[in-house]
Amino acid sequence: MKRLSIGGVALLGVCIGVLSPTAARAQTPGTTVHPENLINEFRTIPNITYLEANNYDAKLDVYRPAAEGLHPTLVYIHGGGWVNGSKEQSVLDLIPYLEHGWAVVNVEYRLARVSLAPAAVEDCRCALRWVVQHAKENGFDTTRIVVSGGSAGGHLALMTGMLTSAAGLDRECPGSEDLKVAAIVDWFGITDVNDLLDGPDARTYAVAWLGSQPDREQIAKRVSPLTYVRPGLPPILMIQGDADPTVPYSHSVRLKRALDDAGVPNELLTIPGGKHGGFSGPEMETAFAHVWAFLAKYLPKAAA
């Protein structure tokens, strides 16, 4: 085990003030980031291989509090349209949860250049299974697992938390564990992949992820969160700007409507005029105030 060296990016760089605007703003109003405290309060195990598939080692990083006991646990999935991005690029987005004493698992997955859809979904489900299987030695509280991500990571967070084994997307890592999460925090994630393949909302990243597979419409439906809306899902918080040029804002609106109809606890926080992330300081403060209030409302209390 190593000291807190996040995915090969030493937190010492953060400690001397290299905080991104996103991370610096991603705090509850009235709180202050003190990353220097994280060095002694956390331990990390970087680049754990949780799955080997298609000649690819899918890896994750674990950040766990040094304190004994069970901790609420964030499973974070990076964005990039399923074609770009890395877990290392998301490190600073984890700081708000570390500051609140959470354990964090930062996940990478197969991008389109390695495997087309639905590989990324399969990988993230396997990452969740790894978290459940290794909860005891890492202090993960399996009753308080939250999955989150932005953009394609938001989509994958939704899929990871909404799927059941009956969907057949757990076959890369079969097991008997109940892959349930306590809540999902979706930052401007895709909810209808078919909508992005053709027509006015077509996006090149979605076309690249599905490729030229002859049954791409069926696959796109299979990897769309809207397909899996049903009663009994975990609470879902959606955050999106209503001027998002990358993921249509209608995706969050449609998901909310479907969740409401199914009786699933949910909230949609709309950032007026907001684009695809890059929110202002006050907007991020508002967003994280909603995150913490939402989690306080729906997460079970810590075991005594």
Position 180 in a domain: yes
Position 272 in a domain: yes
Position 139 in a domain: yes
Position 303 in a domain: no
Position 304 in a domain: no
pLDDT in tens, 164-216: 999 999 999 999 999 999 999 999 999 999 999 999 999 999 999 999 999 99
Q: Structural domain tally of the chain?
A: 1
Instruction: Find the CATH number of the domain harbouring 280.
Output: 3.40.50.1820
Range of the structural domain that residue 239 is part of: 5-298
pLDDT in tens, 107-117: 999 999 999 99
pLDDT at 304: 54
Position 115 in a domain: yes
pLDDT at 16: 24
Rounded to two decimals, the pTM is 0.89
DSSP 76: E
Position 206 in a domain: yes
Position 257 in a domain: yes
